[in-house]
Amino acid sequence: APVEKTGAGGGIIAKDVLGNPIPAAQILVEVPGSRALVAGLGGEPTYLIVKEDHTLDSIGILDNCTHLGCTFPWNPNDQQFQCPCHGSRYAPDGTVVRGPAPLPLKIFHVAVIDNRILISPWTETDPRTGEKPWWV
């Protein structure tokens, strides 16, 4: 499916696996602390975080391990993303807890506008490192 452009800094509307836009309301009813996987920029799997107040966290995280690119689940018991390929573990914000992953997970801006979820590139300072993002 063609990428839906919004004109807002290269952002796109979050979609489901079938390519249909996901209403924000559908994600926001999930259990607080949930990580919802959506198709984000370039169709790449992206985790959205449902906060305690049933709003979305303004940072989304790419489901792509910085070691060799595996996808990985969120482990709610350990409060970590845990890569099944070689055992890398990441904190809720995507920073590395245990290697071999060499870098923090890529992040995106997430915003809800009129029940749509807008995902756009993160190009400024990485708040986790205080440095320019490694992916820019």
Residues that bind ligand FES (CB under 6 A): 65, 67-70, 83, 85-88, 100-101
Closest separation between CB of residue 89 and ligand FES, Å? 9
Closer Cβ to ligand FES, 51 or 86, answer by number: 86
Judged by beta carbon, residue 89 or residue 116, the one nearer ligand FES is 89
- Minimum distance between the CB of residue 71 and ligand FES, rounded to whole angstroms? 9
DSSP 115: T
Cβ-based nearer residue to ligand FES, 39 or 96:
96
CB of 45 vs ligand FES, minimal distance in Å: 14
> Distance (Å, rounded) from C-alpha 111 to C-alpha 55?
10
Q: Is the peptide bond before 102 cis (omega within 30 degrees of 0)?
A: no
Tokens of 117: 């979820």
Strand pairing class (35-39; 12-13):
unpaired
Nearer to ligand FES, 85 or 111 (CB): 85
Taking the complex as a whole, the smallest distance from the CB of residue 96 to ligand FES amounts, in Å, to 10
CA distance 29 to 41: 23
Residue with token string 């926001």 = 28
